[in-house]
Structure 1
Amino acid sequence: MVDWDIRKLQILRTLREEGTVTATAEALRMTPSAVSQQLTNLARQLGVPLLEAHGRRVRLTAAARLVLHHTEAVFEQLRRAESELTAYVQGEAGEVRVGAFSTAVPALVVPAVRSLKASAPGVTVRVREAEAAQAYDLLAAGEVDVALSLAAHAPTARDARFHLVPLLADPLDVALPRDHPLASAPALRLADLAAEPWIFGGSGPWSDITRAACEAAGFSPAQGHAASGWTAILAMVEAGMGVALVPRMAAVPRAGVAMRHLTEDRPVRHVLAATRRGTTEAPAVSRVLQALREVSLA
């Protein structure tokens, strides 16, 4: 099989365009003797004559023209590769796989993807919904490049596998039945709801977050019902079955639910993005993180 030499083919191509060895040497910043030597070596490698005398000049043989005909596609593909590589280095192209928990997808990931479509249309984002705790397993396994999770699930800063990027503190609001006596109160504290039945998960991080917020306000919440999905939780609130803490990112308007901001206590959950160490500065990954940060600040 012929060992094709792109540099030598470029010299042959330039000779076709410039017409003489001297002009070719000037265009490529080489000496005429170097041009001649490279073309002689290329002819030897290909096993065919590439130049023939034509008066005081040389011209391409039929074999040389045949070679250049086929190598044009190669040069075109190399130009495309160079263009795409430049875009990749500048963060304007590439594929980034993002794993995110359910409420982060519509609140953070989708707006970031929309922004990237305008600012860096060559960057493709592949989204995978995953539980906040699962995101780190996917990241460690190389199945996603960026993981969105809650600080409660984050590994410690001593874990050398990951780089953590704080995004936002998501406020926790109280969901009350629309006809609840405190639904229209001028000010509301968590302590005002100490006697209410609470709706939250039977275990896991959201149970921990709800219990910790209520205990910080001076009471232990009585769990009236257990649910982990926000649709189910808000449906039960709407039915008058209890009250719940709901992240502002997760709140979906319902006619029978009043979402109230707390005037005191103001619990939050912290949302983080994470990457594998050594990949954070990859241009496309950096672009996605930038878009996520911009959305979180909006």
Structure 2
Amino acid sequence: MAEWDIRKLHILRTLREEGTVTATAEALRMTPSAVSQQLTNLSRQLGVPLLEAHGRRVRLTDAARLVLRHAEAVFEQLERADAALAAYTQGEAGEVRVGAFATAVPALVVPAVRALRAAHPGVTVRVRETEAAEAYDLLAAGEVDLALSLAAHAPTTQDPRFDLHPLLADPLDVALPPDHPLADADPLHLRDLAAEPWIFGGSGPWSDITRTACESAGFTPHQAHSATGWTAILAMVEAGMGVALVPRLAAVHREGVTMRELTADCPVRHILTAVRRGASETPAVSRVLEALRTAAGAD
């Protein structure tokens, strides 16, 4: 296979446009001897004569014109590559893999993706739903580029592998049956529900968050039922089997459930974004982080 040299092909192409070696040298800010030497080397690499004498000048051979016809497609593709690379470096193109826990996907990631499609359609986001605690393993392994997780499951800020940034403080509301004596209480404090039967997971992040919130309000919750899915939890609340804390991002309207904001001692769960250390400077990742912050601010 012949040895193709893009720079030398560019010189040959310029000679075709300029007509003389001297004009080509001026256009490319080279010396005439350097132009001649580069074209002689290209002729040797391709194994065909590229120039022929024409009076006191030179002109392209038929072989040179054949080479340039094929080279035009190469130059066109390189222009496309330059444009794509410029878009990538400016954050207008690229793929970002996002790992996010279940309630963050519809509430934060989906609005961010919609905004990106409108403002930066060249940025592609691939979403992977994951447990909050698993996100950092995926991030460290390079399987996702950006993770959304709960602060309760984040490594310390001293962990050299990750850059962590607060995204949102998500309030926890209480779910009550509509006929509950405290459904219309104003104000309603978390400690007012100390004697209630509670519904939350037997273990995992939501169990920890519920227990921590109740203990901060001065009581230990009595766990009457265990469930991890919001559909199951709200169905039991609707049936009058207990009360539950529900993050506002996860709240889904249900006819038989009253959602109440808590006063004064309102607990929150903190949501973070995480990327591998230094990756937040990657333009496409930066675009996604910006879109997530905008989505969080809109909630």
TM-score by length of 2: 0.97
Determine whether 1:76 maps to 2:73.
Answer: no
Q: CA deviation at 1:23?
A: 2.1
Q: CA deviation at 1:27?
A: 1.7
Determine whether 1:266 maps to 2:266.
Answer: yes
Determine whether 1:169 maps to 2:183.
Answer: no
Alignment of 1:1-298 (within 5 A): 1-298=1-298
Report the Cα distance in structure 2 between the residues aligned to 1:189 and 1:145, rounded to whole angstroms: 40
Q: CA deviation at 1:184?
A: 1.7
Q: CA deviation at 1:79?
A: 0.8
Q: CA deviation at 1:183?
A: 1.3
Q: CA deviation at 1:22?
A: 2.1
Report the Cα distance in structure 1 between the residues aligned to 2:208 and 2:40, rounded to whole angstroms: 77
Q: CA deviation at 1:283?
A: 1.1
- Listed one character per residue, the Cα deviations across residues 232-264 of structure 1 (whole Å, up to 9, x for unaligned) are 111111111111000000000111111111112
Q: CA deviation at 1:55?
A: 2.7
**AA of the residue aligned to 2:253:** P
- When structure 1 is superposed on structure 2, of 286-295 and 141-150 the one drifting more is 286-295
Q: CA deviation at 1:205?
A: 1.7
Report the Cα distance in structure 2 between the residues aligned to 1:144 and 1:207, rounded to whole angstroms: 26
Report the Cα distance in structure 1 between the residues aligned to 2:227 and 2:120, rounded to whole angstroms: 40
**AA of the residue aligned to 1:204:** G
Report the Cα distance in structure 1 between the residues aligned to 2:174 and 2:194, rounded to whole angstroms: 12
Report if the CA contact (8 A) 2:2-2:47 is conserved: no
Report if the CA contact (8 A) 2:148-2:272 is conserved: yes
Report if the CA contact (8 A) 2:166-2:271 is conserved: yes
Report the Cα distance in structure 1 between the residues aligned to 2:187 and 2:96, rounded to whole angstroms: 44
Q: CA deviation at 1:3?
A: 2.3
TM-score by length of 1: 0.97
Report the Cα distance in structure 2 between the residues aligned to 1:118 and 1:78, rounded to whole angstroms: 27
**AA of the residue aligned to 1:294:** T
Report the Cα distance in structure 2 between the residues aligned to 1:165 and 1:215, rounded to whole angstroms: 27
- When structure 1 is superposed on structure 2, of 204-213 and 93-102 the one drifting more is 204-213
Q: CA deviation at 1:62?
A: 0.8
The aligned length equals 298
**AA of the residue aligned to 1:287:** R
**AA of the residue aligned to 2:41:** N
Runs of 4+ in 1 over 3 A off after TM superposition: none
Q: CA deviation at 1:57?
A: 2.5
What is the Cα-based RMSD across aligned positions, in Å?
A: 1.1
- Listed one character per residue, the Cα deviations across residues 28-53 of structure 1 (whole Å, up to 9, x for unaligned) are 12222221221111111111110112
Q: CA deviation at 1:89?
A: 0.6
SS in 1 for 2:281: coil
- Listed one character per residue, the Cα deviations across residues 72-115 of structure 1 (whole Å, up to 9, x for unaligned) are 11111111111111111111111000000000001110111111
Report the Cα distance in structure 2 between the residues aligned to 1:142 and 1:174, rounded to whole angstroms: 38
Report the Cα distance in structure 1 between the residues aligned to 2:73 and 2:231, rounded to whole angstroms: 56
- Listed one character per residue, the Cα deviations across residues 177-202 of structure 1 (whole Å, up to 9, x for unaligned) are 12212112221111111111110001
Structure 2, gaps ≥5 residues long: none
Report the Cα distance in structure 1 between the residues aligned to 2:264 and 2:222, rounded to whole angstroms: 20
